[in-house]
Structure 1
Amino acid sequence: MSEEGSSDPATDAFVAYRSLLFTVAYEMLGSAADAEDVLQETWLRWADVDLDTVRDQRAYLVKIATRQALTRLRTLGRRKESYVGPWLPEPLLTAPDVAEDVELAESVSMAMLLVLETLTPAERAVFVLREVFDLGYDEIAEAVGKSASAVRQIAHRARAHVAARRPRGVVSSAETRGALEAFQRAVETGDLQSLLEILAPDVVLLSDGGGVKQAVPRPIVGAGKVGRLWAVGLGRVGAAMSLELVQVNGGPALLVRLNGEIDGVLAVRVEDGLVTGLYYVRNPEKLSRVEREIAVSR
């Protein structure tokens, strides 16, 4: 890439759309590390393009990034088959203003990224480009290498699939923060009863240690089991553990430290004022982007 301050048109265009391209790739992959690799591959291909032949630079760059992400998504699928324990997306420390764009915040949330994991690669690409970035069917067709009519069918199928699995209704950042603060207070005081009052009866806890750090090997379901784990099990570490409220993936989350060192990130899904999902990422390889803000945009 050209040096900073260059007036090279290709560089200027890439820099202008970089955060958008990162967001497209991240939403397709759930991995910031892989999204960064997609950006590098996109730049290498973009640098060879004759800009005089490009009518819409944004659409062209999105097309390149989408194709690279689709290729990498299939590789990731094979990696996840041998992953130790539950796989969770890589958490991102995001700016507070991301929450103001409700659709963007939902699209990068842990809960939504896990829903997108249940789609096929083509469905995921079409859904992200259409529902989040509002690309036209013709543009999406070119990006995914399918006809516009096929893309319409895929979009309809993906939309129905996501609608059946996404949280019911829009939950404000303030509501999520309120539930998370109540959860934090209960954990810090070891108050099991207060935990049970903020956890939904069928709450699900997923923990990702990647085979490197200890984590629950399979989902834990039920307020009683989840509550006891946080109030009693983690309570044993006492003063060694601290919880800090941060903005992760467009919404409130907790940064967990043990003896001052980052141990993990806990994101939540909230519905009707109760915590219905807890996503605890402990895999060290996924925690490098929770100490500096990452720009996401549409």
Structure 2
Amino acid sequence: MPYGNYEFSKDMGAIRADQAASAKSLKSIEFASGASMVFNGLTALNAAKAARSAQEQIALQQEQNALQQAMAEQTARHEFSMWRQTPEGAAFVDWQQRAAALIPFLRDRDRSWQSAWAGAIGRARAATPVDEQRRVAGQPARLRQTPLKVLSIVAFVLLVFPLVGLGLAALTSAFSNGQQAYQDCLGNVSEILTRAECEAIRPGNPFVGPIVWLVLLAGLGVLFTVLRRVRMRAARNDRRLADESAARTERWGFDPLLTTGAWYGWHESESFQGYADRLEQLVRSGATTRPTAGQLIRLQVPTPWQPADHLPAEVNAFLATVQQENASLAV
């Protein structure tokens, strides 16, 4: 059939209609895409504004807190400056200045006291026989007996394997079937089937191996445990260590192998224990607590021990120096 002008015009109209529909669809897509971009942009803008607003709020809060703290400190300084003009405040300021000078003085004496004892202990240790030092150093290990403890634990843990072997032997039917065949063979022993041939098919007992290991490991675990207890008891009852410690104490006045530092203060009064710490605490907190004159700690230098013959030379030298310093302070 010939393709005429009418059909051609009709097809062209359809093509133009499709093109128009496609163009309309493209415009719709472009509009939707543009709207989506605008929406995303607005969302991002709102998120940025919210984040900026939150940061501004945090900065404002921090600024307010800093301002309040500064005002509180200023108020406290003002109140303290007013209080220090009162008799009690003036007494505290005077006490605070003298206490601030006394605290490092006392702490320096504490350090010198510890240093003197450290020197004396080191000298005594150097004069102690090496065998005694080795025995004292090894005593904690003798009391613990860690290797035997580990061996006993390992032995008891390994008991799991023979127990598993016994369980497997009980579950398998190979032993019972083989034993039945062996019994049947014995029942049919004749000139053709000899007993030796029956013995050749006699099955082994699968319980023997696990039982042997079970007994062996259990015995080793018990042996290691008992041996550990015996050695620990022997270490606790070792009189040689006690006798050697008594001899060292009699010679030096202390046991240099068991003493790590001064075990008492350089002053006679027990009430001065922690004295410098109490002074420092009141020096720091007095501006806010505002103590009365009766609450102020009395400032004084503790009376040191007198040098003695039973004390090491390093300790006596320190005590002699402290005695001279106290005498010069009293003048």
Above 0.5 in TM-score?
no
Higher relative contact order (CA 8 A, sep 6+): 2
Instruction: Give the structure-1-normalised TM-score.
Output: 0.21
In terms of fraction of residues, the more strand-rich structure is 1
Instruction: Give the structure-2-normalised TM-score.
Output: 0.19
In terms of fraction of residues, the more helix-rich structure is 2
